[in-house]
Chain A
Amino acid sequence: MPAAHRLTKLRKTIRLLRHPFVWGVGTGIVLLLLLRGANAVTATDGFCQSCHVHPQADASWRQSTHYTTKSGMVVHCVECHLPPGGVAYAAEKTRLGIRDVLGMVFKDRESFDWEARSQLEHASTFVFRESCLTCHPNLFPIELTDKGEEAHLHYERRADEMRCLNCHLQVGHFDPNAPDEIDFGLAETAGGEIYDAPAVVEAFDDYTEFIPGTTVSFDMVAIPGGTFQMGSPESEPYRREDEGPAHAVTVGSYWIGRVEVTWNEFEAWYSATRAEGRTDTRLMEAGIDAITGASPPYVPPDQGWGRGNRPAITMTHHAAVQYTRWLSEVTGKPYRLPTEAEWEYAARGGTETAYFFEGSPRQYTERRFRNRLFGRNTEVLDSYVIHAGNSASRTQLPTEVLPNPFGLVNMLGNVREFTLDWYAPDAYRDRAAGTPVVDPRGPDTGTEYAVRGGSFRSDPADLRSAARDRTRSTACLLTDPQIPKSIWWYSDCMDVGFRVVSAYEDEPPAGLRR
């Protein structure tokens, strides 16, 4: 009897187990366990590094403050590179997983530019603020420095615009070139002859300028004046409205820097004139101190990419103008920024096409799906210009590329360049068609200056000789916590520099004959 009873019970149990609902639940549990297991396996550092074998992933992480912590705790890949827990974690993991598998299968791994991906604009797409804050919920630990206090108060008030990475880019992967302290302007000048006099220029030829009292020199190229077509025809690919209408412009003769102003040149000014503290801008506007120097920068102005002969960046338009005034003072020559017309004339070097070299923007741009799918041949482009595709997301030395027909280097790339003119989208509108306009200038007043040329961050579509852009004063000072914000240094714009020009008059100014 008990045996039969047990049998009945067993049968009942089996019947119950056959019920679809029970099957469903059971399968669900098994799947969950499998997923859990899969997640655990795929969340280890070893799993990540089975594909990410480059030193930027592993070695630099082991050297970072997130591996060698005071407490001996190690922070693992997924703790920063995936959002913490929950739906966001699963969604991001799925997205990244699919992307990485596709990348593994379809892309040439040798082509990945890991250096570029460690820069802020890339890093912020795969490092999550919530992950930072999960482990660092207290933004005001007792050890926090005064500078840190100010920075975190600043951050709290702009948490929707800023990320931890704005200031803490290198904490997860050590970068030996990222300076902790700003030694800007304090470095010894490179060895060599110290010039005691500026160049003597007696004819309209190329010359090398010497900055007296320093070892710094730079080349100026003579550009004979002429008439050219400024702006782009409506047929030009990726043309924007502000580049037209195309119109004839005549410019006088001038000299222009062969390369963009280098850190060596810019630091010569900074060291000679830098201010101990802030300068009252009202005094400067009144012209009381014509060549006031910059205050010390708030963050390393070279982004840790190195200085020397790389183009100087992150200075404000005001600082660039002050530089040219100082340079004029110490050399006795009338240096200034180029007008938009002078800039474009120099950039074109007699060409009327989109670039001064062969090829069409269509063929080079990454904005075309076709180019992304089938690849693009950028060999010619790469030989003349530093742009997003060959820059590793940073400025490069001018020796990396070939000059344009006038002998000028990187007119279209490396860094965008300030001009003397205010920016207006309709600046060309009223210029007479037919009769060439002589030495045109931008509007009388404005809020932002015209910026020309492309940079190490630009897509080839924006490297065209006619492309125009402007300064962005607010966005460029986002992380500067000072008020008034610095008038000398942008905290958030790292792709704008400038080059200098010196106008040639039939009767050269007295200074030129010194």
Chain B
Amino acid sequence: MTDTSEHKDSPNRREFIETVGAIGAVGAVGALVAGCGRGVGDQYADYPWPPLLEQAPDGPVLRAGLIGCGGRGTGAALDFLAAGPNLEIVALADFFRDRLDNCRNRLREEGNVEVADENCFTGMEAYRQLVDTDVDIVLMATPPYFRPEHFEACVEARKHVFMEKPMAVDPVGARSVMASARKADGAGLCVVTGTQRRHEATYLQTFERVTRGAIGDIVGANCYWNGRVPWWRDRQSSWTDIEFMMRDWVNWTWLSGDHIVEQHVHNLDVVSWYLGDAHPEKAVGIGARWRRPSGDQYDSFSIDFTFEDDVHVHSMCRQISGCANNVSEMVRGTKGYTNCEDGIWKTDGTEVWQYPYENDEDGNPIRPQPYKQEHIDLVTAIRTNQPVNEAERTAVSTLIAIMGRISCYTGQEVTWDQMMESGLKLGPDVVTLGASPDLVRGVVPVPGTP
């Protein structure tokens, strides 16, 4: 029923091909995780590589429940089912009945899974009802606004977790996830967080070479997610303010964190990873809203992040169709540079190393399938009893993105210390599916004003 109101700004074929070419295997709004391994620490060479198995090892049945039954959630559920033997999806939760039914049907058709009626929960308390069932793993793909609260509930119930990036939309939420991550560590839980580049052999092998000095000491970096506008929805007369915003969530800052947080966090996470899971000391950025069709977000950001030792990282992201597209990272060192994904060059441009892709029948390189890989790595960690927990470092990457956003919204320099102590919390204290005229009015921030 809702599909009638969904818009996609359909790119022409050439733009589409360019986009796909540029972003490689990465594309798609809301991607998955990367690199199993608890805390990379300072010693890059000791980084515990995810084993990157083709299938998770066999073991007793692991039962999973899904919170957030939209496209990404349904995809995550199917990827989970395909990750290895004896994996089940036994419970679903969503705010909306129609979303849940769509997901249930797709799981029936594509995954041959029948979720029992008594394990289908809808409404605002659905997540809690799902967490209270006897599932072993919770998959989460709700709007990021809900992540801190839902993750906390999962950890308190001792559930393993797969959750989509980003971890939060504001500093209070990011710190809540950091704290819950520590609690999960203490309880021996496995948490994988949707930063899928860290689960791709291409990125991992490049990273390994960089840690061994292939480009020398890192002196700067750039990262980009310049792409087209994502989907939006027209409001239907039967929807309340909150229901409209939740169905249109990717356009509302309090729900998504804005696209720098919701999408560009992938690239910021890679840069943070290459710099040693570091965070910037400060950020100054500019951003604007030009053409966005819905919501209250910006559609472009450009930020100068300053890391330790005065290492500058430029981050740029845009969601405007019909412009030059680029989704990539570039890290520069004293001896050369890397695209982080599959190549390393000397400063003068001479190629040092390329990832040895295998080619398919048409001669095109076969790229990794990271979405499924994340679930393979999660199940492997659980079944081999070698806990991994990516939540804290992804919370750091999320807070870096939030920091950039706040700088652009305000026009001010923002420091990491401020982020670690800011009381900023977006959205209503308690979400009920009712009227919220203040939020839905959609006031767009103007830099340089109080």
Which residues of A are in contact with B by a Cβ distance under 8 Å? 138-142, 144, 146, 149-150, 152-154, 157, 278, 280, 282, 481-483
**A153 and B156 in contact, given A140-B183, A483-B423 (Cβ under 8 angstroms):** no
Stretch from B174-182, B239-247, B363-371, B439-447 forming part of the interface with A: B174-182
Cα–Cα, bound, A481→B450 (Å): 23
- Which listed residue, A138, A139, A157, touches B420 by the CB 8 Å rule? A157
Judging by beta carbons under 8 Å apart, are B423 and A142 in contact? no
Q: Which 3 A-B pairs have the closest CB atoms?
A: A140-B182, A149-B179, A483-B421
Give me 4 other A-B pairs in contact (C-beta within 8 A), A140-B183, A141-B186, A483-B418 excluded.
Answer: A140-B179, A149-B175, A153-B178, A481-B421
* Chain A residue with Cβ nearest B422: A483
**With A142-B156, A482-B423, A483-B421 in contact, do A153 and B175 touch (Cβ < 8 Å)?**
yes
How far, in whole Å, are A140 and B450 apart by their CA atoms in the complex? 36
Q: Which residues on B sit within 8 Å (CB–CB) of A280?
A: 450
8 contacts between A and B (CB under 8 A): A140-B186, A142-B155, A142-B156, A142-B186, A142-B187, A149-B176, A153-B175, A482-B421
Report the minimal beta-carbon distance from A139 to chain B, rounded to whole angstroms.
7
Which residues on A sit within 8 Å (CB–CB) of B187? Answer: 142
| Cα–Cα distance between A141 and B155 once the two chains are bound (Å) | 11
- A488 to chain B minimum Cβ distance, whole angstroms, is 15
**Contact residues in A for B158 (Cβ distance below 8 Å):** 142
Bound-state CA distance A380–B7 (Å) is 86
- Given A153-B420, A157-B420, A483-B418, are A146 and B176 also a contact pair (CB < 8 Å)? yes
A410 vs B272: C-alpha distance when bound (angstroms): 57
The docked-state distance in angstroms from the alpha carbon of A282 to that of B449 is: 12
Chain B hits for A153, CB < 8 A: 175, 178-179, 420
Interface residues of B in 23-77 (CB under 8 A from A): none
- Chain B residues with CB under 8 A of A154: 421
Shortest Cβ gap from A37 to chain B (Å)? 38
Give A278 to B185 CA distance when docked, in angstroms: 34
Task: Kindly state the separation between the CA atoms of A280 and B421 in the bound complex, as whole angstroms.
Answer: 17
Q: Which of B178, B185, B423, B450 has the most CB of A within 10 A?
A: B423
**Does B183 lie within 8 Å of A150, measured CB to CB?**
no
**Interface bin, chain B:** 20 to 34
Minimum Cβ distance to chain A for residue B160 (Å): 14
How many angstroms between the C-alpha atoms of A139 and B178 in the bound complex? 12
* Most-contacted residue by chain A among B175, B185, B421, B422 (CB, 10 A): B421
Contact partners of B179 in chain A: CB under 8 A: 140, 144, 149-150, 152-153
Chain B residues with Cβ below 8 Å from A138 are: 182, 186
Residues of B within 8 A of A152 (CB): 179
Min CB gap B189→A, angstroms: 10
CA distance in complex: A481, B420 (Å) = 9
Interfacial chain B residues near A139, Cβ < 8 Å = 182
Residues in B whose Cβ lies below 8 Å from that of A278: 423
CB of B370, distance to nearest CB on chain A (Å): 30
What is the CB-to-nearest-CB distance from B40 to chain A, in angstroms, rounded to a whole number?
A: 18
Task: Tell me the bound Cα distance from A139 to B423 in angstroms.
Answer: 21
In angstroms, Cα B185 to Cα A142, docked, is 10
B211 to chain A, nearest CB (A): 26
Nearest to B179 among chain A residues (CB) is A149
Residues of chain A within 8 A (CB-CB) of B175 are 149-150, 153
Interface flags, B406-426, vs A, CB<8A=1, else 0: 000000000001101111000
Inter-chain CA distance A418–B433, complex, in Å, is 51
Which of B178, B183, B418 contacts A142 (CB under 8 A)? Answer: B183
Q: Which residue of A has the minimal Cβ distance to B189?
A: A142
Instruction: Tell me how far the C-beta of A446 lies from the nearest C-beta in chain B, rounded to whole angstroms.
Output: 25
Complex interface: chain A residues within 8 A of B155 (CB) = 142
Q: For residue B178, which residues in chain A have a CB less than 8 angstroms away from its CB?
A: 153
B176 cross-chain contacts in A, Cβ below 8 A: 146, 149
**B183 lies within 8 A of A141 (CB):** yes
Please report which residues of chain B, range 272-309, place their CB below 8 angstroms from some CB of chain A when the two chains form the complex.
Answer: none
Interface hub of A141, A153, A154, A280 (most chain B Cβ within 10 A): A153
Question: Of all chain B residues, which has the CB nearest A152?
Answer: B179
A213 CB → nearest B CB, Å:
32
B49 CB, min distance to chain A CBs, angstroms: 27
Cα distance, A265 to B114, chains bound together (Å): 68
* Interchain nearest-CB distance for A251 vs B (Å): 41
Bound-state Cα–Cα, A161 to B158, Å: 34
Closest residue of B by beta carbon distance from A142: B183
Q: Which residue of B lies closest to A278 (CB)?
A: B423
Docked CA distance A153–B182 (Å): 10
Return A189 CB to nearest CB of chain B, in Å.
Answer: 31
A150 CB contacts on chain B under 8 angstroms: 175, 179
Least distance between B60 CB and chain A CB atoms (Å): 24
CA–CA, A77 and B180, complex, Å: 33
Name which residue of chain B comes closest to A280, CB basis: B450
How far, in angstroms, from A154 to B185 measured CA to CA in the complex?
Answer: 19
B153: min CB distance to chain A, Å:
11
B158, B180, B185, B186, most chain A CB atoms within 10 A: B186
Residues of B within 8 A of A141 (CB): 183, 186
Name which residue of chain A comes closest to B181, CB basis.
A140
Within the complex, what minimum Cβ distance (angstroms) separates B358 from chain A? 44
B423 pairs with A144, CB closer than 8 A: no
Alpha-carbon distance A68/B319, docked complex (angstroms): 59
Residues from chain B with Cβ under 8 Å of A144 in the complex = 179, 183
Rounded to whole Å, the gap between the CB of B387 and the closest CB of chain A is: 14
* Minimum CB distance partner of A146 in chain B: B176
Residue of A with least CB distance to B187: A142
CB distance from A498 to the nearest CB of B (A): 28
In the bound complex, residues from chain A placing their C-beta under 8 Å from that of B421 are 154, 481-483
Q: Give Cα A146–Cα B185 distance, bound, in whole angstroms.
A: 17
* Chain B residues, Cβ within 8 Å of A282: 450
- Provide the residues of chain A in CB contact with B423, threshold 8 Å: 278, 482-483
CB distance from A115 to the nearest CB of B (A): 34
Q: How far is the CB of A147 from chain B (nearest CB, A)?
A: 11
A157 CA / B155 CA spacing, docked (Å): 24
Considering only CB atoms, which chain A residue lies closest to B155 in the complex? A142
User: Which B residues are CB-close (under 8 A) to A483?
Assistant: 417-418, 421-423
Closest to A154 in B: B421
> CB-nearest residue of chain A relative to B185?
A140
Chain B nearest CB from A280 CB (Å) reads 8
Q: Which residue of A lies closest to B419 (CB)?
A: A483
Contacting residues, chain A, for B183 (C-beta < 8 A): 140-142, 144
Question: How far in angstroms is the closest Cβ of chain B from A89?
Answer: 27
Per the bound structure, the CA–CA distance linking A138 and B417 in Å amounts to: 23
Q: How far is the CB of A346 from chain B (nearest CB, A)?
A: 40
Residues of chain B in range 127-172 having any CB-CB distance to chain A below 8 Å:
155-156, 158
Chain A nearest CB, measured from B391 CB (Å): 12
Q: Complex Cα distance A139/B185, Å?
A: 11
Task: Give Cα A278–Cα B425 distance, bound, in whole angstroms.
Answer: 13
CA A69 to CA B187, docked complex, whole Å? 21
* A157–B418 CA distance with the chains assembled, in angstroms: 12
Distance in angstroms between the alpha carbons of A481 and B175 in the assembled complex: 12
298-354 of chain B: CB within 8 A of chain A: none
Nearest Cβ distance between residue B389 and chain A, in whole angstroms? 12
What's the nearest-Cβ distance from chain A to residue B415, in Å?
10
Taken together as a complex, chains A and B put the C-alpha atoms of A141 and B182 apart, in Å, by 8
When C-beta atoms are compared, the residue in chain B nearest to A480 turns out to be B421
Cα A140 to Cα B180 with chains together (Å): 8
Could you tell me the distance in whole angstroms from the C-beta of B305 to the nearest C-beta in chain A? 19
Most buried by B among A139, A140, A157: A140
Interface hub of A138, A154, A482, A483 (most chain B Cβ within 10 A): A483
How far is it, in angstroms, between the C-alpha of A483 and the C-alpha of B186 when the chains are bound? 29
Q: Which residues of B contact A482 (CB under 8 A)?
A: 421, 423
B150–chain A nearest beta-carbon distance, Å: 15
Tell me the complex Cα distance, A119–B431, Å.
Answer: 44
CB distance from B365 to the nearest CB of A (A): 43
Distance between Cα atoms of A150 and B421 in the complex (Å): 8
What's the minimum C-beta distance from B282 to chain A, rounded to whole angstroms? Answer: 14
State how many angstroms separate the Cβ of A485 from the closest Cβ of chain B. Answer: 8
Question: Across the interface, which residues of B come within 8 angstroms of A149, CB to CB?
Answer: 175-176, 179-180
Residues of A within 8 A of B182 (CB): 138-140
